[in-house]
Amino acid sequence: MAIPALTPVPRVQRPRRATPADAVRPTRAEVNLDHLRHNLRVLRRLSGGTRLWGVLKADGYGHGAPAVARTLERSGIDGLCVALLEEAVELRNAGIHAPVLVMGGNYGHGWGELLAHELTPVIYDREQLEALAKEVHLYGFAPIGVHLKVDTGMSRLGVRHDRLGPMLDRIRDLPEVRLTGMMTHFANADDDEMEATQHQCALFERAIDEVRAAGFHPEVIHAANSAALIRLPRARYDLARPGIALFGVSPRADLIADLRPVMRVRSEVVALREVLPGEGAGYGSSWKARRISRLATVPMGYADGLPRSLSNKGRMLVRGTTAPIVGNVSMDMTMIDVTDVPGASLRDEVVVLGPQQGPLGSDCITADEIANHADTISWEILTGISRRVPRFFREP
């Protein structure tokens, strides 16, 4: 069917990610698509048959959403979730046909784009409903299915329970909109105790009962993220929304043992020098040599997603063994101490994230390890690998 001319949408050109063809520096992120497929199989096995809609917001957690989406779609994933309309349009433009749920709710004047690309919006306020219904009516589209988000304790987005009745009344008044799904979002599913998440489930189930009593029959009900998918079978409902676990990071260290990290970030030694006792390294000379030391320069810095908080406490891998970060991480470069790495040479591979095997052994730096050093979470580490680091997609 020909798509009518829709309400114009101001388009913001997204900064283009560096591509492998553009790679001049040796710094790159390698994305192992076979590990992605493996992780999907693990989650399917643990899910008890629940349908899975993979969360690919923030460019697929920094891995490259179009390639990740194609791999998951070919592996039979049931659907995909993103945060932004722009992210969903990117998937459609990449040839993705799977259902795509846009969860962030920030549609601006982009209802026409949403309709034209056959996307499913998450709705939580009256203004959204009315703007969507107007666009459907104006251009003669068939009624569009929406998922209603209920706030059960995250206090971020979603209709609160005391406003649910009026929201349902407005949906009933708008024939252009069909309530096809309900969702909520857990705030504490990875905590030691599950009491808060159980309470959110109870509130959500009250809302589901109220929606059904009002005469609505949502086709899909969903709440579970990666942690709740594994820890709380009650929360699986009709489908679950795994995110971080798809990319090989367990939401809790003790939760899923056989996931495989999908991203590996590597670079090379581009300079070597000897420094004498008392000499410093980097901005502010925050590190000073206590012995004659051999320092290597690696062309990756905080503009590439290496947290500056790793200064003087993070590490990298060279020849299969540890080389500590020394001095302050700068925008484009970082120095590591290779004094205790026999044979370290120019152009040696340096691993920033992931495994390495070398003549001196084998080791692995995980996103969790980096996050612990940087006093953050692994989600931020993965999504923080910047667009100027090209992604190389690997098959077996």
The partner residues of 361 in beta bridges, in order of sequence, read 358
Report the SS3 class of residue 305.
Answer: coil
| Residue 61 annotated to the active site | no
Structure token pair of residue 94: 């990449």
Q: Which is the catalytic residue, given 61, 107, 134, 283?
A: 283
Alpha carbon distance 311, 309 (integer Å): 5
Residue 283 appears among annotated catalytic residues:
yes
DSSP for 231-259, written as a single string: H-GGGGTTEE---GGGGT--SSTTT-SS-
The dihedral over CA atoms of 211, 106, 18, 334, expressed in degrees to the nearest 10, equals -90
Distance from C-alpha of 366 to C-alpha of 373, rounded to nearest angstrom: 11
| Distance separating alpha carbons of residues 304 and 13, to the nearest angstrom | 21
Please name the amino acid found at residue 301.
G
The three-state secondary structure class of 225 is: coil
* Contact predicate 259/43, CB 8 Å: no
Cβ–Cβ under 8 Å, residues 131 and 111: yes
User: One of 57, 124, 237, 302 is an active-site residue; which one?
Assistant: 57
Q: By the 8 A CB rule, do 29 and 385 touch?
A: yes
Active-site residue numbers?
57, 283
